[in-house]
Amino acid sequence: MIVSFGSVKGGVGKTACCMNIAYSISKKYKVLVVDFDSQGSATHHISAKVGRNLKASIGDVLSGKCSLEKATHHYGQKMYVVPVNYDFYESIDEDRSYT
Ligand SMILES: Nc1ncnc2c1ncn2[C@@H]1O[C@H](COP(=O)(O)OP(=O)(O)OP(=O)(O)O)[C@@H](O)[C@H]1O
Ligand SMILES: [Mg+2]
């Protein structure tokens, strides 16, 4: 099952809900949180727990530099996170086409 959190309004608790609900579900089921947010808020949430050495990110996975497995960091008992980094979004900005 894939669950996504979205709202056109900023600062309404999307990231907080995502991380809290993911953590709650992970008490029973395996959960993978994938951070696609350019602000990297979910990544900041986990960096204190997982450590600062988040070398592989979702950008590395999508650009074929590493496997999803390598970019997946263990957070809690059944909770895993794929972090984001700014390099990924810089590359998207370069590629973005305006119509
Ligand atoms: N239920 C809540 N009660 C009180 N404060 C909350 C609650 N949920 C989130 N917050 C606080 O509100 C702020 C914004 O939350 P969050 O970063 O989750 O929002 P967001 O929608 O992901 O924002 P953005 O649009 O910038 O990505 C944070 O400081 C967070 O700690
Ligand atoms: Mg957010």
**49: confidence class by pLDDT, cuts 50, 70, 90:** confident
Q: Is the CB of 39 under 6 A from ligand 1?
A: yes
**Does residue 4 belong to any structural domain of this protein?**
no
72, HSE (Cβ side, Cα atoms, 13 Å): 11
**Does residue 50 belong to any structural domain of this protein?**
yes
In ligand 1, the atom with minimum distance to the C-alpha of 18 is 18
**Does residue 9 belong to any structural domain of this protein?**
no
**Ligand with an atom nearest the CA of residue 18:** 1
What pLDDT was estimated at residue 47? 78
**Does residue 6 belong to any structural domain of this protein?**
no
**27: confidence class by pLDDT, cuts 50, 70, 90:** very high
Q: What's the first-to-final CA gap in the chain, in angstroms?
A: 34
Q: Which domain holds residue 27?
A: 14-95
99 pLDDT higher than 60: no
Enter the pTM of the model.
Answer: 0.82
In the structure, ligand 2 is a single-atom ion and the residues with CB under 5 Å from it are 14-15, 41
Q: How many domains does the chain have?
A: 1
Ligand 1 mean position, distance from CA 17 (Å): 8
- Dihedral sign of CA atoms 23, 33, 56, 43 in order: negative
